[in-house]
Each structure stands twice: as structure tokens, then as C-alpha cells.
Amino acid sequence: MTAPFHLEKLLFTPATPADQAATVVFAFPNEYTIGITSLGYQVIWAMLAQRSDLAVSRLFTDGHEPLPTQIELLGFSMSWELDYANILTQLESLDVPILAGDRGNEHPLVFGGGPVLTANPEPFAAFFDVLLLGDGEVVLDAFIDAYQTVRDCDRPTQLRRLAQVPGVYIPALYEPIYDSPTGAIAAIQPIDADIPAVVEKQTYRGNTLSTSSVVTEQAAWENIYMVEVVRSCPEMCRFCLASYLTLPFRTAPVAGGLIPAVEKGMAVTDRLGLLGASVTQHPEFDDLLDYLNQPQFDDMRLSIASVRTNTVNQKLTKTLTRHGTKSITIAIESGSERVRQIVNKKLATDDIVAAAVNAKAGGLSALKLYGMAGIPGELPEDLETTADLMLQLKKAAPGLRLTLGCSTFVPKAHTPFQWYGVNPQADKRLKRLQKRLRPNGIDFRPESYNWSIIQALISRGDRRLTPLLLQAREFGDSLGSYKRAFKALKGELPPLDFYVHAHWERDQPLPWDHLQGLLPKATLLKHLDSATSHFAPDTPTPVLAASQS
């Protein structure tokens, strides 16, 4: 199989590998069209390919560049939890044992990075020799530089040396301890005093942000050139991994950063994508719009990531309409003001109505809103308020096509809501929303509740999930496969409910406590207290253990 690499337009110059360059295969655990659309994958590949001490090949599930006969480093960029099954298949295709403990000196060092592995790598820890936590701009070159110093050493020596590099996590050098086979985790400790007790996620603090390193018509977004306008989000919604994991909020300068980046991309394509968790909160966003509204960009097609609701004005919507965009997406989380206060969504209902009115007035034909069911502290009547809001928007902006995409709350590591489980009533609440909205002409698109269960299992999982993931892969990719695997492994790990639905005690050790994000646990608990202050009376909350409360 050969992916259409020949159709790529490169925006960087790969280095010519030196004699004796280390051989690297950089893989994406999905098809080429999906992987090449990942800005993170593009950027890391370009960083590797611009080093003359490396000879880099790419691997996707449906194709690859010529691969070396002896691979020294095998890397994976992971941005979706269930892609783990594809990683295992790719390892098998290269005759690499899927478990790190079964690999010897003759096998490549398998490393991984990306948002899934930075958030909580523990369920996947047994598959990787090396995990890179945090921003690639900081940790990647440090990892490669350190590897080159121990390239000729045996595997144990290599791993011990690499463990000293900030942000480089070597799972085999840490040992989990459990209260019991089916109980909570008690600790994860380094195997000896020479190994750091805590691995800190690495944060890039510069303001030169990422841009596409390749443009191709074979990307999922055909011929798109992507520019990262902001990184992280200043709102800090209490459930949001994209905000908490990537703090602090950083913005690229318009004059010295974004404008040269756009000019570089528009030299090879006419499609521009502006990326970021909250693009329109860039302090100079108006200046960027003025620049893009110049006559030389009249033929440019512009796409923009989710925008902050109270920044949707007619200047923005007219700019998007002029450049071929017919719809925008805003995240409201809930129609209930109280629930928005719980999650720290600083947004009034009037702001949401104004966004719909401005979208229509600016010439857009559709508005997509993102909501959530099962948010901690949410009551059934809050979902009714969400339905009421959608009907209110329909009246306020007649003719504007409205879509509500709605997910189930899933707890994520390193966020204030990591102690909360999935609300088992969320499925019923999604169905209730559907019943109220679809007959009224509103396109309601709920995300799969069953997928949310699996996502929560992995996002709060520990290393005891490794045999479960292997079993579920054998049984097939479905919620039923995971439930069947739990039944087969009963007594060897906690039940599904422990990982997915249980509210964890605030002082119990967490599977990722040895992996430090930007904010300490004490700060996350303060943010949790801020959220629960808006709960209705008698709402269950995570508590201190009975023996210590």
C-alpha cells in the first residue's frame, strides 16, 4: 500500500540524512487522509525530518514511505483513544512485540506523544518504551539529543538515561501499587531513587505557534493550510482538557507571526484554516480580520475553529461569508445559566441570542452549537432550559439553520472535574432533548453515550486496563466488547462502574499523580470548590475519605 505522498506540497526543506543517521519511523494510527490533516502530526514530522542526524519515514494504516530494514526509533502521534488498536496492529506489521516488556535490544524504542498520551498514558503505558509529555517544541529535540548520546548502549541503559530528560516518561521504571486487585490505586513509585518521582509535562512558552508543514488535496480538509492562532483557552471551563492541559493561554503576534504565516501558505493554496480552542479571543483578532479582508485574498476560502459566543459580531460573520464559510460553531455547554456558572462558562443567554442574530445578519446560513448532558450539578430541568433556548434562537433568527451537537460529560485527567464520574442519566437526557428538538425543525446530533462510557474508562484508567484493552481488541470495537472483557477479567481489576460512574474521593491517589500538569492538585480542588458552590442543595460531590474527613 502506498499513500499519495507525491501529491504533497512541502512548506519546509527536509535535511539530507548524514552517514549513520538514526532510522526513525513516525506513524499515525489511522489512514493517511486523517493523519496528514493533524497539525500536530505535521509539525512533529517536520521537526524530525529537518534533523540531519535522523533518517525519517512515515507510516499510516493505509500506506507508508520506504521503511528501513532496521528501525531504531518508532514513534506514534495519538489524538484519539480508540486508535490504540491501530497502534497495536502497526506494531505487529513491523514485527515489534506489542508489549514493551517483551522487546529486546534488536527492537526499536517505541515512543508516543499527543493529547491522549499527555493527559493520562497509564492505560497504554505497557505498549510504549517512552512517552513524551507536553509540547513537542520543547520535549522532542531534548529526547532525540539524549537518545543520540546512548544510541549504542543496551536498552536498559538507554531507558535510564532518557528518564532524566524533563517530560520524558519511561513507564517501565515506575511501579503501581494498588489497595487490592479490584480497589483504588495507592501510589505509582519509581523503581529506585535514581528515577525522578514526578515527570513534569513540558510547556512551550514562546509565541511562534504551529503552521502546516505540508498541503495536499488528499487531506480530509482538501488543500488546507492551517495556522494556530492561539494555544490553550483563557476561559478554563472546569471539564475542559483542551484548556487545562495546554495552559497558559498563548497568542501569536499578528504582524510578526500570523501575517507572514498566512502569506507563506497562500503562496501554495487558497484555503486557510485558523485553529485554536478560542481563536476569536486573540487580542488582535480584529486586525487579523482586516488583513484577511484585503482584495488579494478575495478568492481565499476561510475556515475557523469554534469561536467564543460573545465575539460573534457582524464583522466576523461577514468576513466568513465573503470567504466561503456558510456556518460557524459556538460552544454553549448548556441553556441553563446556573450550569454555565458551574463549568465557569462566562456567558449570558443574551450573548447566545446575539450570536445567532449576528450570524444571520452577516449572511451565514447555519449555526452549530455544542452542548453537554450530565455535567456535574446538572438537574433534569437544566436540559429543558437548553431545549427552550434552541427554540428561542429559532424565533430570534428565522431561516438560520440550527444544529445542536450534544455530548455526554466525560471526566478528564488534570481538570477540576476529574473526580466526577459519568452521569448514568445522561443517555435519557439526550433522548429527551431529541424528543423536544427534532419535531421543531432543529437538527439534534447527540454523540454516542456508549462511546462516552469507553472514553471515560480510558481517561480515568490505570495499568490494570492493559489486559482489558487487549481482550476488547480481540472481541471487536464496541461497548459490548469492553463489557465482555470486564466479565472475562472479573476479580483482576475494578468493575466498569469504578472507572466510569463513581465519584472518586478528593484525597485518594489518582493514576496520573506522578505526572504533573501545569496546575497542582490543590489548585484544581479550589476550582472544583468554585464549581460546586453553584450546585443545588443535596447534590452529591466528591468527599474526603471517611477516615480523614
pLDDT for the residue 545 = 52
Q: What is the pLDDT of residue 286?
A: 95
Joined grid coordinates for residue 439: 419535531
> Averaged over 522-530, what is the pLDDT?
97
Q: What is the pLDDT confidence band of residue 541, given thresholds at 50, 70 and 90? A: confident
Confidence at 90, pLDDT banded by 50, 70, 90? very high
The pairing of beta strand 199-200 with beta strand 515-516 = parallel
Going from the C-alpha of 443 to that of each of 28, 402, 437, the distances in angstroms are 33, 6, 7
pLDDT at 478: 80
pLDDT of the residue at 2: 63
Can you give the pLDDT at residue 3?
75
Using one digit for the tens of pLDDT, what is the confidence trace for 287-319? 999 999 999 999 999 999 879 999 999 999 999
| Encoded amino acid at 115, one letter | P
> pLDDT tens across 403-449, in order?
999 999 999 999 999 999 999 999 999 999 999 999 999 999 999 99
Reduced to 3 states (helix: H, G, I; strand: E, B; else coil), residue 145 is helix
> Could you read off the pLDDT of 100-139 as tens digits, one per residue?
999 999 999 999 999 999 999 999 999 999 999 999 999 9
> What are 237-266's pLDDT values in tens digits?
999 999 999 999 999 999 999 999 999 999
Separation CA 49–CA 41 (nearest Å): 12
As a whole number, mean pLDDT of residues 1-19 equals 90
Closest CA to 459 of 509, 511, 412, 518: 412
Q: Is 127 strand, coil or helix?
A: helix
pLDDT tens figures, 30-46: 999 999 999 999 999 99
- C-alpha 176, offset from chain centre: 25
pLDDT digits (tens, 9 = 90+) for 475-521: 987 889 999 999 999 999 999 999 999 999 999 999 999 999 999 99
Distance CA 350, CA 356 (A): 10
pLDDT surpassing 60 at residue 1: no
pLDDT value at position 549? Answer: 31
- The residue whose grid cell reads 541503559 is 157
Contact 367, 400 (CB under 8 A): yes
